[in-house]
Structure 1
Amino acid sequence: MTNNDKDDLLSHTVSVLVDNESGVLARVVGLFSGRGYNIDSLTVAEVDHEDNLSKITIVTSGTRQVIEQIKAQLDRLVPVRRVVDLTIDGPSVEREMALVKVAGEGEHRVEALRIADIFRARVIDSSNSSFVFEVFGKAGKVDAFIKLMEPLGLVDVSRTGVVAISRGAEGL
Structure 2
Amino acid sequence: MRAAEPEAAPRTTSQQGAQAITVAPETATLVSAKISASRKAKQKKRAAAAVKYAYKQIGDPYRYGGTGPKSWDCSGLAGGAWRKGAGVKLPRTTQQIYRAVKYKVSWKGAVKGDLLFFYSGKSHMGIYVGKGYMIHAPSSGKRVKKIKLTGYYKRNFSGAVRPGY
TM-score when scaled to structure 2? 0.27
Which structure ranks higher in relative contact order (CA pairs < 8 Å, sequence separation ≥ 6)?
Answer: 1
For the pair shown, the structure with the greater C-alpha radius of gyration is 1
